[in-house]
Chain A
Amino acid sequence: NAGVTQTPKFRILKIGQSMTLQCTQDMNHNYMYWYRQDPGMGLKLIYYSVGAGITDKGEVPNGYNVSRSTTEDFPLRLELAAPSQTSVYFCASSYSAANYGYTFGSGTRLTVV
C-alpha cells in the first residue's frame, strides 16, 4: 500500500519556468490537499479538492493551479516560477470521515533560482 506518492522529490527551477508536481494516492480518498512549508514555518494550504472534478482555493493559491480529473491524482501546476515559490510542497489526502488525520506524501523540495 503506497499511500500518497509525490514526484519529484527535489527540483531546481529557473525564474519563469513552469512545472507540475505530481501527487497520487491509492487509498480511494475523496479529499486531497496541497500545502507549502517555508523554512521554519507551519504549512499553508494552496488548493484542495473534495472529489474528482471539484477544486477550490486555499490560503495561498496565487501562482498555482490544480486539476482533479480522477480520484487518485491531484497535480499542482506552477506557472512562471518565482523565488517566492521556493518551498517544500506536501500533498495530503483524507477520508471524508471527520476523525481521520491526513496522510501526507514525502514532500517535494523546490528551489527557484
Chain B
Amino acid sequence: DAKTTQPPSMDCAEGRAANLPCNHSTISGNEYVYWYRQIHSQGPQYIIHGLKNNETNEMASLIITEDRKSSTLILPHATLRDTAVYYCIVRVYNDYKLSFGAGTTVTVRA
C-alpha cells in the first residue's frame, strides 16, 4: 500500500472548519484514500473514504486532488469532541487490511 504523510499535530478553534492534509504521492490507480480517527482510549472510528471524486457524509468532506497525490479531510464545524488522532490511510479497494501511520493529533480549542 502507498505510504501517506501527515503533519504530526494541529490546533483548530471550536466552531471553525478543520482542514487536515495528507500526502500520498505514490498512490496507485486501485487504491482508495480512507480516513479514520481515534479518540483517546477508544477504537478507531471510520470517517470517510474516496477514490478520485470528492466525497461528503454527515461527519466530514474529503477533497482529493485531480492527480490523486494528496487529499484534505474537512471537518466543517469542529467541536471539542473532534479532538482525536486522525489517520489518513491508502489501501487497495479489495484488501480489508489497514496499516496505520502516526496520524495527525488534532486538538480543538474552545
Q: Do these two chains really belong together in a complex? A: no
Footprint of A on B, CB under 8 Å? none
